[in-house]
Structure formats: C-alpha cells, structure tokens
C-alpha cells in the first residue's frame, strides 16, 4: 500500500501561483488591466493616429477581453494578465508601430479562400 501512496505523491505536484492565490485576486488583476487599457485608449488613438474612433477601440478591447472569459485556471489568467500588461507598456511607450495596433482590428473570422489567386494574396498578409 505504501508504494501506491508514493506513486500518487510523485504523480501529483503542488504548483505555485504565478501572481494570484485565489480567483478573486485574479479577477481583480484582470479588471485593473482592463481599466488601464480603457484609460489609455484616447492617447493610443491620438499618438498612433489610427483611423478608428475611441468607441471602436473600446469595443475591440471588450471583445478581446471577452474572448478569454471562459478561462478558469488561475495560472493561465495570470499569464494572460502579464502578457496584457506587456502589450500595454509597449503601446504606451510607443515601442509599437501603427501596423501593430491595427492588427487588433483585423477581422477575427475570415472566410477561407477558394481559388488560387485568393490563396496567394492571403498568404502575403
């Protein structure tokens, strides 16, 4: 019986949290990141001179956050928050270019090209 217990103990591993220790703390981090992005949208629109309104950018921000709504693993949530903070810092410090910002507005669902030329043109994007 002790061999079975040792095998179970070896097979299960306690993982350390990345940032958050409970779902409430992870949720607070996500909301803080969302608010930080929301506050920076007017400056990003102005600084990058993108052809989108602030309302369009806020709608896209909500869409991007809602895409990860179903994630429940706290470690995954923390990693997504860290990546979001890095993206925000790169945008605020102008380390990105206008094209990087505009890739957020690329259509999320594209029909697959059927003919040769459409496939060729889509491969160069």
Tens-place pLDDT, residues 28-41: 999 999 999 999 99
pLDDT tops 80 at residue 48: yes
> Is residue 124, in this structure, part of any structural domain at all?
no
Res. 26 pLDDT band, cuts 50 70 90? very high
pLDDT tops 90 at residue 18: no
Q: How far apart are CA 42 and CA 27, in angstroms?
A: 25
> Is residue 7, in this structure, part of any structural domain at all?
no
> Is residue 43, in this structure, part of any structural domain at all?
yes
The parent domain of residue 90 ranges over 23-106
pLDDT tops 90 at residue 8: no
Number of CB atoms found within 10 A of residue 102's CB:
13
The torsion region of residue 14 among left (phi > 0), alpha (psi -120 to 50) and beta comes to: beta
pTM score: 0.74
> Is residue 70, in this structure, part of any structural domain at all?
yes
pLDDT tops 90 at residue 116: no
> Is residue 100, in this structure, part of any structural domain at all?
yes
> Is residue 51, in this structure, part of any structural domain at all?
yes
The total number of structural domains in the chain stands at 1
> Is residue 120, in this structure, part of any structural domain at all?
no
């Amino acid at each position: 019986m002790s061999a079975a217990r040792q095998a179970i103990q070896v097979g299960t591993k306690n993982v350390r949290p990345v940032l958050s220790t409970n779902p409430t703390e992870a949720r607070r981090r996500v909301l803080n990141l969302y608010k930080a992005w929301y506050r920076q949208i007017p400056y990003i629109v102005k600084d990058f001179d993108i052809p989108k309104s602030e309302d369009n950018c806020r709608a896209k921000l909500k869409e991007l956050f809602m895409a990860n709504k179903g994630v429940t693993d706290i470690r995954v949530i923390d990693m997504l928050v860290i990546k979001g903070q890095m993206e925000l810092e790169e945008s605020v410090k102008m380390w990105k270019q206008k094209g990087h910002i505009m890739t957020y507005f690329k259509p999320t669902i594209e029909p697959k090209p059927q003919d040769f030329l459409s496939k060729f043109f889509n491969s160069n994007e």
